[in-house]
């Protein structure tokens, strides 16, 4: 009997990562769940997946994407436990909310370390084994913030734009070795994204950007009401793994697909006007003294 395919999923203890880990484990994959706190995260994953303690197809690895030593150690554990992974899903992300004057400057390094530098380091560590095996796919989980800079989450948008461009370049570099890259632009799914454990909100309700936040809050309520369960994202990710294309970029969710199409087809001025209207932002020059 052939060994099961192996998938490494970062941020597998909650949200989209947890749903994806449960889905692929149920489909027979060996899931290597990379997380900050495997002691508690693995119990949560086992319960969600209905897996027994000691299940050989469920492995937890400690990974802190802000710590280079942790990334090196995690990569060694991964290759020791499962050899060269068939798929690596870069899902873990840190989110911070607030306009540019509101977000503390020191959070810039933290969010780029988690969302950009960390995934790149982990890829560097795993690539030699995957290249030697002549197979494998890296999946980068992005968001609509990677399509266009979104107000009040400018740092998060910047990291998603950066990791998408990196993924495109990576695909060119590794395709000759039989390796592939997929970018998935996720729409809105019902996760604990607003949990202070990994989302920091610095919006000042009565500050100079108060009109921005009022409009964004209203837009957020509308979007949240139509959010889909994370299991739908997991199903879409599993289907995306069927492609053999060296590089593919897919939207997951109706609003993500609409955003991608609009960005490609609309003139820049029209697209920005659409974004402003959808997010309820004040018109240009409306707040001049």
Any idea which residues carry the catalytic annotation? 156
- DSSP E strand boundaries for the chain: 6-10, 30-35, 58-62, 87-90, 95-97, 137-143, 180-186, 199-201, 247-252
Q: Which of 55, 56, 4 is nearest to 28 (CA)?
A: 4
User: What letter would DSSP give residue 207?
Assistant: S
- Angle among Cα 245, 246, 250 to the nearest 5 degrees reads 60
Compute the distance between CA of residue 34 and CA of residue 250 in angstroms, rounded to an integer: 24
Compute the distance between CA of residue 6 and CA of residue 27 in angstroms, rounded to an integer: 11
Compute the distance between CA of residue 53 and CA of residue 222 in angstroms, rounded to an integer: 41
Q: Which of 112, 198, 119, 184 is nearest to 155 (CA)?
A: 112
Compute the distance between CA of residue 77 and CA of residue 83 in angstroms, rounded to an integer: 9
Q: Assess contact for 65 and 118: CB atoms under 8 A.
A: yes
Compute the distance between CA of residue 107 and CA of residue 113 in angstroms, rounded to an integer: 10
Other CB atoms within a 10 A radius of the CB of residue 155 amount to 21
């Amino acid at each position: 009997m052939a060994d099961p395919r192996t998938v490494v999923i970062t941020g597998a203890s909650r949200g989209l990562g947890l749903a994806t880990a449960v889905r692929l484990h149920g489909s027979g994959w060996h899931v290597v769940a990379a997380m900050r706190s495997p002691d508690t995260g693995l119990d949560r994953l086992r319960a969600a997946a209905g897996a027994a303690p000691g299940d050989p197809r469920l492995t937890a690895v400690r990974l802190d994407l802000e710590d280079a030593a942790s990334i090196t150690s995690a990569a060694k554990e991964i290759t020791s436990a499962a050899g060269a992974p068939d798929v690596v899903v870069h899902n873990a992300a840190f989110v911070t909310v607030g306009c540019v004057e509101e977000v503390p400057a020191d959070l810039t390094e933290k969010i780029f370390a988690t969302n950009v530098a960390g995934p790149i380091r982990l890829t560097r560590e795993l690539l030699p084994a995957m290249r030697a095996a002549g197979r494998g796919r890296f999946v980068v989980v992005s968001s609509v913030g990677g399509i266009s800079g979104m107000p009040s989450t400018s740092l998060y948008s910047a990291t998603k734009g950066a990791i998408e461009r990196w993924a495109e370049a990576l695909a060119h570099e590794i395709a000759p070795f039989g390796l592939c890259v997929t970018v998935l632009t996720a729409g809105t799914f019902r996760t604990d994204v607003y949990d202070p454990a990994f989302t920091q909100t610095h919006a000042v309700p009565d500050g100079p950007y108060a009109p921005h936040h009022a409009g964004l809050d209203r837009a957020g309520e509308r979007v949240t009401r139509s959010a889909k369960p994370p299991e739908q994202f997991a199903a879409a990710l599993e289907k995306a793994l069927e492609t053999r294309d060296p590089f593919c970029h897919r939207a997951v969710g109706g609003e993500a697909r609409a955003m991608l199409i609009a960005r490609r087809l609309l003139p820049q001025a029209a697209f920005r006007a659409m974004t402003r209207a959808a997010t309820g932002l004040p018109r240009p020059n409306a707040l001049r003294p």
